[in-house]
Structure formats: structure tokens, C-alpha cells
Structure 1
Amino acid sequence: MSVCIIRNVRLLSETEPVWSDVLIRDGQITEICHDREDRFAACESGMEVDGKGQLLIPGMIDVHIHGADGFDMMDGTLQSLEAVSHACARTGCTSFLATSVSSSMDDLMGMLSSVSRFIGKEQGARIAGVHIEGPYLNAKRKGMQNERYLRHPNVDEMKAILENAGQLIRMVTLAPELPGGMEMVSFLKEQGIVVSVAHSDATYEEARQAFQCGASHVTHCFNGMRPIHHREPGVVVAAFEEDHVSVQAIVDGVHLHPAIVRMLYREKGADKMVLITDALQAMGLGDGSYLFGGHRVTVSQGVAKLEDGTLASSTVTMNEALAKTVQAGIPLKDAVRMATETPATVLGMTRKGRIAPGMDADLVLMDDCFNVLWTMVDGEIVYRCVR
């Protein structure tokens, strides 16, 4: 039995961080001690880690990431998946959904094949499954998605994808107003897959119908969808009115104004708002020129755009998104929840996202500036900051 004691860390509570020790056995949290006078006995046959009074949070979960460190997971290589796994761990993310873009069927199948071959071999963050973003998207709200590959939802085609992907597919983003859209929503719901709405021109009424048919999530809320208008409220307002619908937020200072971040928080709460990166391969590298989704993308001052000025994903990391969410005025404990427990709940990951006995020891130690000091997955430190 492997044993690890993490000492001298601060854990978030309803009021203020509490000085604590955490006992881990075989990759699972077994006990938490908040009494500094009654601490765990010295670990004779295991590892002790001194947290030095820093903040310990659950491992963050990114349900929407395309690439990092110069690697795009759509290239179908194991090397790209490994690179993203390490990059996620470096930024405090312990689980992620490998996310596609609209592409040829061959490229999508190649990506799914690579994930199938690599999953379980990660040395950094773990792959929780695949998020298929497209090709069933509305060209009117395509954003950076390549219009060449966009098409109407086709259940038979999706059945073929699922036959090849097994249980890998955890989330699908689509435009439900397209012909065949509602049928696809119902079909995916029956398969236990999270159905998300985006790159959609759905009206308020069409969005409500989709949510009633089984859609339960909104991808990068406000981006890639009909904007709110006082006579045409669209997807966003429909999502606000449905208690079971959760929403993604790219909090990078570019995709959403801080006032919109606060509005999302007021409307949906920390239990229905999910922080994501939507990162492309520029994450971790910075400014430059990249090929993404069949487009030439230029990153300048951290902002990724197509040649026509369209935003093309993001370069933000999960720890940066967490910091910017707090800077926008969201309480720290709720911001952390949006990056940890809430995405875990959306994906049905019952042993992730919280620091409590019985939960997996996916943990991140951060300083007060949200820098990641180390990241632990299943009780093992997979990244440690070297200064």
C-alpha cells in the first residue's frame, strides 16, 4: 500500500482557508486533519510532502482543449496527446477532454484512434474522454470552424463514429436548429453523452426545445451563437432559464468582458458554470503563426485570430483562467469550484473535483498568485515547479 501525507496546506472552506494535513492511501484521499495539535503520525513507509502553507485545491478539469506546446491533438499522433497531458499538468489541470474541430471523417477517426491507443498511458493529466466540437455546426456562427467540413447532423454517421470510438465520446457540441439536430440531441442523450449547444443560430424557442430534448450544456457561452437581443433572446437566455443546463466560460480577458463573467455567475451559479481554456497549440508557446483547423492563425499579445480578425480559440491556461475569474470579482471558493467540482459533475466523474475522503488524490498546490507549485494525479506528483 502506498501512503502519502501532505502537510501544512490551506484548504478552502465556506469562510477562509483552513490549515490542514491530507492523508492519501493508494491514490485516494482517506483522511483530512484540520487540528494542528493532533496531526497524523510520521509516515514510516511512504512520502511526506510539506505544503509550506500554500493553497491546495482539487485538480482542475478542462472539458474543452485542442492543443498545447505546439501540438494539435487533431494530428492523430500519440506525441501530441502526451504533450497536452504534460502541459495540462503543468498548469494545474489533472483531467481533460481531448477536443476535436470540424474536419474530414478520416481526420476525426484518426484523432479518435490515437486517443484510444494512448489513454491509460498518460504521465501527466489524464484523458477523461473526447469532446467532439463539430462538424454539425451552423455556418452562420462558425467562428474559426472550417466551413468546408460543416454539415447537417446525421445519426447514422454518428453511430459509425461511436462504433469506432467505444466509450471515448463524453461530449458533443452541435447546432440543434439544423435539419436533424433535435433527433441527434435525443440520440446522444440516450447514449449518455453530454450534448452541448454552440456555433448555433438557434432562436430562444429552438434552444428551449433542444434543452427539453436532452441538451444540457452550452459550449463557450456567448461565443459562436446568436447574441442576446430584447426581442430575440437566443441560446444564452434559454440556458439561463433552464436549471439543468450548465455553461462553459473562456475567462481569458478577451472572449468575455468581466461584467459578462459576473453575469454568468449570477445567473447560473458556481454549480452550473464551467471554466475552460478552449486552447489551441499556441498555449504555452505564445505569439506566432500556427495552422489550426485548416486555417492560418496568428497569435499576437496572447490573442489568437484568423486573417479576417475572427477569434480562433484561446491561449489561456486553467490556472490563468482561475486567476482572471477571481480578478473579475468571483469568490475564490466558487471560482475553484467552476474549474474542479462542476466540470466533474457535468462529466459524471464522481471521484474527482473535491478534496474529501474517498475522492481520488488529484490535487494542485498553488501560491497566492495562482502559480502551480506541483500537480498530483492519483497520489503521484506528475509536475513540480523548478525555480
Structure 2
Amino acid sequence: MSTILIKNVQTAHTDHVLRSVDVWIREGIIAHIGTEALMDIDPKSCEIMEGNGHLLIPGMIDVHIHGANGFDMMDGTENSIQEVSRACALTGCTSFLVTSVSSSMEDLLALLRAVKRVIGHEIGAKIAGIHLEGPYLNVKRKGMQNERFLRHPDMNEMKQIFQEAGELIKMVTIAPELPGAMELIQFLKERGVVIAVAHSDATYEEAKEAFQAGASHVTHCFNGMRPIHHRDPGLVVAAFEEDHVSLQAIVDQVHLHPAIVRLMHRIKGPEGMVLITDALQAMGLGDGVYQFGGHEVTVKSGEARLTDGTLASSTVTMNEALRLTVSLGIPLIDAVAMASTTPARILGMSQLGKIEIGYRADLVLLDPQYQVQWAMIDGKLIDHVGGFDLSNRLSTGTPSS
């Protein structure tokens, strides 16, 4: 693989934004960041990309997405997973967790098998693993989850899931107050799975017990859980008090009031917040009527709701979530961390999530409106997913200092 020079970009670092810098990539790894040329390269093999002063960020990582562009991954087909991979890449996401909804065991196993066939052959963003959202959730806080598939934790069932998917299971969302949940938390903890809580009516005390037992994440925080009350603080306040617990945020102007997003950021900081889409198949298509999780979902003005008005996932994209987060007053470097660095750390992806020497070159170039100009994975432009104008992106020549 030749060396790539990305010229004249802004990059968001841990505590500041670098402007008018060049980024050198060698063998898919970030080799240098600065304005001076590397002296030990063959100029004839160097490919040059002009950044035009745009923002270069680490590829975003969506730990919670169900579908996109008319495709629902719960249909258990390889094509649907590939189309979500494509949609993710087009919106600045280079890795994602295939996320389930509560379903029959047969449908869940079909999803797991499809993931195993696709992983390693993705046409766009890479599959980082699987996020099981349910089915061990509380009917009282079911949200759009289909009640007929909700059930108490079943260890035999979970063991069967792990026999099928094994280390691909990276995150599991449960309601910790259900019978058998503590045993399940121990089982998942022993396997290094991120244990998330949501669709839960857990009290403050029950949530504290779960966090002390090994739960460390809150799925779509504030949504699908007992609300805060001054005499009944519930799950959210318990999570706020635990330093090791991170929170998912759907920043789409619907699921969370701007003041709540700022409160989450003030309490947890960028290292404790994760931007997600929680997108259903309507992402990228707009308003209309869709089938999702066994329900009819109507999307109007970008809001996805069941017939009774219940919110049913989101249509936001990762680049839109990043833009909206910054528009709420969150510093750009923090917003980028919430979209890239923090999810990478949570998932144990130690070479992703930062633009630093030695990290993998999963990168996205955004214009001032946060529109994706191109994305690359392991130093390779994703040029076969459609949507990017990649003509004349690369030129070969002697780099200037």
C-alpha cells in the first residue's frame, strides 16, 4: 500500500483543533501529523489528497443502529446488513454494531447468522459486532419494543445465542430489575460484554445494584426508563453518580431537549457520552409509513412514531447528530470524542477513534455543513458505495513541505 498525504485539513484532537495541517498515512496507519514532509518515503508512491481546509475526524462509530435506506437488519438477510453498511459510510460512520430489537428466537438467530456471513466482506462501514437490544426488557417501559416478544432473562436462551455468535456479541441491553437479571449480568461480564440498561422501570437502588454488579452503559438515556423524580431518582440519577457508567444520547431535536444534552455533557463529559442514531429503516428516506419491530411506524417531519404516538427509534444520521450536538453549545472536540473516541474505548477498539500517530486510518472528511466528502477505512477510500464524488481525489506526485 502506498503512502497517502491528506493536505490542508483541520483535525480535532483531545483538547484543541489543529488547523491547516497535513496527515500522512502509511500501510493504513496514521504515520505523521504536521506540515513538514516525511523524509523516508518514495515520492513516486505517495498519493496526495487535498483537504481544502475541511474537518478531518476519526471515523464515527454507531453502537446502536437498526436499519437505513429502507432496509431493516432484523429481516435476517445479508443484503439489508450490507445496505446499512453502505448508509453508515455515506454518513461518516466507519464502524457500527448491528442492533436487534426484541423478537422471536428464530428471527434473532437468523440475524446472527447473517452477520457472520457478512462480517469481513462489508461494502461500507465495518461491523464492530452485535448489540442485542432485548428481549429481556420491562413491558412497562417497552417504548416501541414489541410486547409479545418481551420476556424475563433466560440463561439457556442466552447460552444458545452465544453458541451461535460468540465474541460477536459486544453489547446487551437489559432491564436489570427483572427476575434473573443479576445472573445474566454476571454471565455477560465474564464474557467481556458491555452490559447496558434501558426499557427499564428500575428504581435508583435496583440500578445501583446493577452498576455495581457489572452494568456500565445506558441505552438511549432518558428514553424508555423511569423518569427522574425528587423522591424517586431512578436509573438515570444512579447512572449519573457512577463514574464508570456511560450514556447513549440520541441528539435529533426530538428525543432529548437541548438542556438535557448539555446536562448530560456537564455531568459525564465527552468520555462518558456516546452519540448514536438508533436509526430505523427510514434513515435516508424521509417521511412515510414503515414496518419496524412488528409495528407500523409513521415518519413525519423526521419523527418516527407508532400509531399511539410513541417514539419509535430515530431517522438521524451520525453526521447530523454531530452537527446538532455542536449547535447546542457542546465543543467540537467533545462532540467528536462522543461520536468516535468514546465508543471506540467502550468497545475496546484500541486503534480507532483518534487522529494520532499509530492509529488506524479510519477517517472522514466533513465540509463546514458537516456533509461527508469522503470516508476511508484502513487508509482506503470507500469508493464503491455510491454517493461520494471521488473523481480526482487522489493524485500522485512529490509532496511539498
Partners of 1:9 and 1:54 within 8 A in 2:
yes
In structure 2, what is the equivalent of residue 142 of structure 1?
142
Partners of 1:7 and 1:21 within 8 A in 2:
yes
- Aligned equivalents of 2:73, 2:303: Cα separation in 1: 20
- Aligned equivalents of 1:141, 1:44: Cα separation in 2: 60
- Secondary structure at the aligned position of 1:247 is classed as strand
Map of 1:44-83 to 2, 5 A cutoff? 44-83=44-83
CA deviation string 1:242-262 (max 9, x = no partner):
000000000000000000000
Partners of 2:373 and 2:388 within 8 A in 1:
yes
- Aligned equivalents of 2:51, 2:372: Cα separation in 1: 12
- Aligned equivalents of 1:253, 1:261: Cα separation in 2: 10
In structure 2, what is the equivalent of residue 177 of structure 1?
177
- Secondary structure at the aligned position of 2:270 is classed as coil
In structure 1, what is the equivalent of residue 29 of structure 2?
28
- Which structure has more relative contact order (CA 8 Å, sep 6+)? It is 2
In structure 2, what is the equivalent of residue 17 of structure 1?
18
- Aligned equivalents of 1:15, 1:105: Cα separation in 2: 47
> Structure 1 vs Structure 2: percent identity of aligned residues?
65
In structure 1, what is the equivalent of residue 389 of structure 2?
386
- Secondary structure at the aligned position of 2:44 is classed as coil
CA deviation string 1:29-75 (max 9, x = no partner):
11112x3xx33468411421110111100000000000000000011
- Aligned equivalents of 2:305, 2:291: Cα separation in 1: 11
- Name the amino acid aligned to 1:140: K
Partners of 1:21 and 1:40 within 8 A in 2:
no
- Aligned equivalents of 1:46, 1:156: Cα separation in 2: 55
- Aligned equivalents of 1:94, 1:15: Cα separation in 2: 23
- Aligned equivalents of 2:47, 2:24: Cα separation in 1: 10
In structure 1, what is the equivalent of residue 37 of structure 2?
39
- Secondary structure at the aligned position of 1:166 is classed as helix
- Secondary structure at the aligned position of 1:255 is classed as coil
In structure 2, what is the equivalent of residue 165 of structure 1?
165
Map of 1:1-387 to 2, 5 A cutoff? 1-13=1-13, 14-33=15-34, 35=35, 38-40=36-38, 43-383=43-383, 385-386=388-389
- Aligned equivalents of 2:6, 2:18: Cα separation in 1: 16
Q: What is the deviation of 1:330?
A: 0.3
- Aligned equivalents of 1:211, 1:15: Cα separation in 2: 33
- Secondary structure at the aligned position of 2:271 is classed as coil
- Aligned equivalents of 1:371, 1:363: Cα separation in 2: 14
Moved more, 12-21 or 60-69: 12-21
Partners of 1:5 and 1:43 within 8 A in 2:
no
- Aligned equivalents of 1:62, 1:232: Cα separation in 2: 32
- Secondary structure at the aligned position of 2:45 is classed as coil
- Aligned equivalents of 2:52, 2:356: Cα separation in 1: 20
Moved more, 314-323 or 150-159: 150-159
CA deviation string 1:143-176 (max 9, x = no partner):
0000000000112210110001121100000001
C-alpha distance 16-193 of structure 1, shift in aligned 2 (>3 A)? closer
Q: What is the deviation of 1:335?
A: 0.5
- Aligned equivalents of 1:58, 1:15: Cα separation in 2: 15
In the alignment, structure 2 segments of 5+ residues that lack a partner are: 391-401
- Name the amino acid aligned to 2:83: A
- Aligned equivalents of 2:307, 2:151: Cα separation in 1: 23
- Secondary structure at the aligned position of 1:167 is classed as helix
- Name the amino acid aligned to 1:192: G
Q: What is the deviation of 1:123?
A: 1.9
- Name the amino acid aligned to 2:388: C
- Secondary structure at the aligned position of 1:336 is classed as helix
Partners of 1:82 and 1:122 within 8 A in 2:
yes
- Aligned equivalents of 1:163, 1:99: Cα separation in 2: 18
- Name the amino acid aligned to 1:155: M
- Secondary structure at the aligned position of 2:382 is classed as strand
- Aligned equivalents of 2:337, 2:43: Cα separation in 1: 31
- Name the amino acid aligned to 2:32: E
- Aligned equivalents of 1:332, 1:58: Cα separation in 2: 13
Moved more, 362-371 or 375-384: 375-384
- Name the amino acid aligned to 1:108: L
Moved more, 358-367 or 2-11: 2-11
- Name the amino acid aligned to 2:22: D
- Aligned equivalents of 1:233, 1:187: Cα separation in 2: 28
- Aligned equivalents of 2:2, 2:309: Cα separation in 1: 52
Q: What is the deviation of 1:27?
A: 1.1
- Aligned equivalents of 1:183, 1:43: Cα separation in 2: 59
- Aligned equivalents of 2:194, 2:232: Cα separation in 1: 26
Please, what is the CA RMSD of the aligned residues? 1.2
- Aligned equivalents of 1:164, 1:144: Cα separation in 2: 26
- Name the amino acid aligned to 2:37: R
Q: What is the deviation of 1:113?
A: 0.2
- Aligned equivalents of 1:111, 1:293: Cα separation in 2: 13
- Name the amino acid aligned to 1:251: V
- Secondary structure at the aligned position of 1:271 is classed as helix
- Secondary structure at the aligned position of 2:167 is classed as coil
C-alpha distance 51-40 of structure 1, shift in aligned 2 (>3 A)? farther
- Aligned equivalents of 1:244, 1:60: Cα separation in 2: 22
- Aligned equivalents of 2:145, 2:367: Cα separation in 1: 37
- Secondary structure at the aligned position of 1:354 is classed as coil
Residue-pair matches, total: 384
- Aligned equivalents of 1:359, 1:81: Cα separation in 2: 26
Partners of 1:4 and 1:43 within 8 A in 2:
no
- Secondary structure at the aligned position of 1:340 is classed as helix
